[in-house]
């Protein structure tokens, strides 16, 4: 019951964060630049054209009313129209978001699948060679710029070894539309197209490695330190004294309480992961929201930019809510007390 109250409270806070976020974004887009219409039309447009567009976009209204319209649109899932091609921003983002979501999902799975075992191994053999190896590896992962790793992987796998595709989501020759969930691999499974699933995974591999490296490094580091912290707890010494084998101690008694910090870190790091997705998608020509965002930013398409930042923020907030639920499952203290330990 307390957990439910905790979650309700978290949802309310999240809504508040989203409102705050919308204010920040609105301020950046509407107040900072002066005149978005002039920006979108460029210096060659006539004053009349600019005035028309201003009226069209409601820019001639008081700023509070403009914000009211913005937030009302948000609530309906309406992010306005692109200033350049009049297409609804929301539908453009929806089309590209699935690709980003698939990439990010796969990235998180990779980061945990490798980060946690590496952290466990490092903690288990603390100050011995596996630990040193993992620590060096984790640091290198954390400090290699995402775009640089992306380039290196492209050179290595694409040009030198010729084993993996370096751009796109699927081979151009493959006729497949991901029209159920928008995720190539999932839709491939649902349609029973194993060839699509395999190709999809092959195309996912390099971008997600480039994107996962930094997060994986952080997860390995945090897992290591929280495992070491838990290892010195009395309850681990107690289970040792009662003759519980080391395997069970490490993978059950130590891993589960150690799992909360990496989860929390994942939530906090999620923003920088999305940020990195912008460069990685660009390098691998991944047709995602980040690539769309870069394009709109370079074209100074304000409504689209606001949409992309807003959706990134909503994505962050939702992921963190999910993580709160997961933390509650992992740690009964959170479930029972209704707050983070």
Binding to other proteins in span 19-58, by CB under 8 A: 20-21, 24-25, 28-29, 32-33, 39
- Which of residues 57, 209, 316, 324 is near other proteins by CB under 8 A? 316
Q: In whole angstroms, give the CA distance from residue 235 to residue 66.
A: 58
What is the smallest separation between the CB atom of 233 and other proteins, expressed in angstroms? 6
Closest to 149 measured CA to CA, from 252, 118, 157: 157
257 contacts other proteins (rule: CB under 8 A): yes
Look at the block and give the residue holding tokens 């497949």. Answer: 176
Is residue 233 at the binding interface for other proteins, with CB under 8 A as the rule?
A: yes
Smaller CB separation from other proteins, 32 or 64: 32
Site for other proteins in 122-161 (CB under 8 A): 126, 135, 139-140, 142-148, 151-152, 154-155, 159-160
For other proteins, give the closer residue by CB, 197 or 290. Answer: 290
322 lies in the site for other proteins, by CB under 8 A: no
Give me the long-range contacts of 192-200 (CB less than 8 A, separation at least 24). Answer: 196/170, 199/170, 199/171, 199/174, 200/169, 200/170
d(CA 319, CA 269): 11
β-bridge mates for residue 88, sequence order: 81
Task: Rank residues 184 and 283 by Cβ distance to other proteins and give the closer one.
Answer: 283
Instruction: Name the one range near other proteins by CB under 8 A: 78-86, 186-194, 197-205, 330-338.
Output: 330-338
Question: Using the rule CB under 8 A, is 167 a contact of other proteins?
Answer: no
Among 68, 336, 339, 340, binds other proteins (CB under 8 A): 336
Give the span between the Cα atoms of 90 and 311, in whole angstroms.
9
Q: HEC states along 141-157?
A: HHHCCHHHHHHHHHHHH
- Work out how close the CB of 313 gets to other proteins at its nearest, in angstroms, rounded to a whole number: 4
* 3-class SS of residue 81: strand
């Amino acid at each position: 019951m307390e957990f439910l109250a905790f979650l309700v409270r978290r949802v309310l806070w999240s809504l508040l964060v989203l409102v705050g976020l919308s204010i920040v974004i609105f301020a950046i887009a509407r107040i900072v630049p002066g005149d978005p219409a002039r920006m979108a039309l460029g210096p060659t447009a006539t004053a009349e054209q600019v005035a028309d567009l201003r009226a069209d976009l409601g820019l001639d209204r008081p700023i509070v009313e403009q914000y009211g319209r913005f937030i009302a649109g948000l609530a309906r899932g309406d992010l306005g129209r692109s200033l350049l091609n009049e297409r609804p921003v929301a539908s453009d983002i929806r089309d590209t978001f699935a690709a980003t979501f698939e990439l990010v999902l796969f990235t998180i799975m990779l980061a945990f699948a490798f980060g946690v075992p590496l952290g466990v191994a490092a903690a288990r053999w603390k100050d011995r060679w596996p630990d040193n190896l993992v620590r060096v590896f984790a640091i290198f992962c954390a400090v290699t710029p995402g775009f640089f790793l992306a380039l290196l992987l492209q050179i290595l796998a694409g040009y030198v070894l010729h084993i993996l595709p370096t751009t796109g989501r699927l081979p151009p020759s493959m006729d497949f539309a991901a029209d159920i969930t928008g995720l190539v691999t999932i839709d491939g499974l649902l349609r029973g197209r194993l060839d699509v699933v395999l190709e999809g995974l092959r195309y996912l591999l390099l971008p997600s490695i480039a994107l996962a490296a930094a997060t994986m490094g952080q997860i390995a580091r945090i897992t290591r330190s929280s495992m070491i912290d838990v290892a010195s707890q009395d309850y681990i010494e107690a289970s040792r004294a009662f003759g519980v084998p080391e395997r069970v101690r490490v993978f059950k008694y130590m891993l589960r309480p150690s799992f909360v910090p990496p989860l929390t870190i994942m939530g906090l790091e999620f923003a920088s992961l999305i940020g990195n997705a912008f460069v990685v998608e660009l390098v691998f020509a991944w047709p995602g929201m980040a690539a769309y965002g870069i394009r709109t930013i370079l074209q100074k398409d304000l409504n689209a930019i606001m949409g992309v930042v807003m959706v990134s923020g909503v994505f962050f907030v939702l992921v963190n809510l999910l993580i709160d639920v997961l933390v509650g499952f992992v740690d009964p203290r959170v479930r029972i007390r209704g707050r983070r330990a």
